[in-house]
Structure 1
């Protein structure tokens, strides 16, 4: 069972295994059709397409009409139906991949762990690693038998915006922001019209988890780099712009042997939707 990362070579050895489900999670926040278009041009053989905006996110507004962020968590029942449609069972090995260093694939990895599914991994190095091995691509749409995955006890915790607000006074937990430094400082109005960060947060850009070739750094390197930021992962909260790339830091922590940090799903997009919530700018 693979529970964090899988190499292209190991995936290639199982690409035709009916118990394995491969999911293409390619996406572009500035061009929402890019992922599906890329899938149509060529994807890993047998892979299904997992749309970040629809399949892997829920409605932006809750039943009460309150904005929940740009990529809120889907309802668990809806997510289960999506996964069953992809052929996922309780004993399936799921592999998520993208072309962005795991930026989007990590979201599916985290969501499955949220459902209590252990057998899920991210293709280390993504599409580039697969093609560097000389492995083929396909344009055929995947046709899989319906699956029967069920919801079990989650492996991962979450926090609400109320929890994060309360932590401003309590100071018991460390908030780590996965956005790029310019966004964290409040200097990128194109992506974040209201720029800055949650007061007291620290910055760990998700790309810092990667080597130059797009694969994850090893466990020892990740532990060393997270050490100045986190004393106890169980007292850490991961966030980003909308709860997607924060999952990359959560995956990196898992690779480093530092499990237990929580995801703030609404992240910055939910935080700044209420002007009464405090905002800090500049470096951490």
Structure 2
């Protein structure tokens, strides 16, 4: 029997009904980078494996060129593929990513699976309401290989040349976007021409993504032929990418370096307000 693949969001009930999904716990805390792993060790969805933002979902902050590429640049593509092989990824296997932060880290893993060409990946929508276990999850390694990416990304130099010709969306909180505060990066403000869509605005009061019709109505004014998404370090931008994809508004383009990379070079323009 052919099962329907989930490619954006999946509910807890739908997850429970799956046969042999690959479940990835991406819970994380920027202020305490070991918190997510500790929580996973205490209790997680049965069968889930833990992915650490800094160690597994990001690469070195400084590249081989000696240039700072942001707080969470993409890792080596083959290295990430090798990790997923060890965890048992195979063609067609449904992957479900989740976290305890409204999907902000799970969405990054969702995007990265698509970057490897794997379409059958979805983010758990809302809190898990089933049993949890502290048991380590066994994995059977595979010989799976990545394929053509299903998503696109852009670097700082290319984005600089295209400013004003692409729709640019910043997923950070409004006060950071306006440049009133900057707790993490080199300078305050935003990339010129960017619009602000705080990623948490994709969620309802219940912590789940808003209904498709509501998301579409809110996001449609931000849609364009080319939409580039960024945030502080290329993580919560993926939440907006997921929301737009779920709303049927296309895949968009990720700027992985985001504000952390952009603001580190004083030669790049900065806007405020």
Q: TM-score scaled to structure 1, two decimals?
A: 0.92
| Cα distance between partner residues in 2 of 1:260 and 1:106 | 13
1:152 paired residue among 144, 147, 150: 147
Aligned to 1:82: 83
CA contact (8 A) 1:183 1:192 kept: no
| Cα distance between partner residues in 1 of 2:109 and 2:182 | 28
Q: Counterparts of 1:72-221 in structure 2 under 5 Å?
A: 72-125=73-126, 128=127, 130-131=128-129, 135-168=130-163, 171-221=164-214
Q: CA RMSD in A?
A: 1.1
CA contact (8 A) 2:220 2:249 kept: no
Aligned to 1:47: 48
Aligned to 2:247: 256
Cα drift, residue 95 of structure 1 = 0.2
Q: Matched residue of 1:112: which SS?
A: helix
Aligned to 1:4: 8
1:13 paired residue among 14, 17, 32: 17
- Structure 2 unpaired stretches of 5+: none
| Cα distance between partner residues in 1 of 2:89 and 2:266 | 41
| Cα distance between partner residues in 1 of 2:30 and 2:133 | 24
| Cα distance between partner residues in 2 of 1:100 and 1:267 | 20
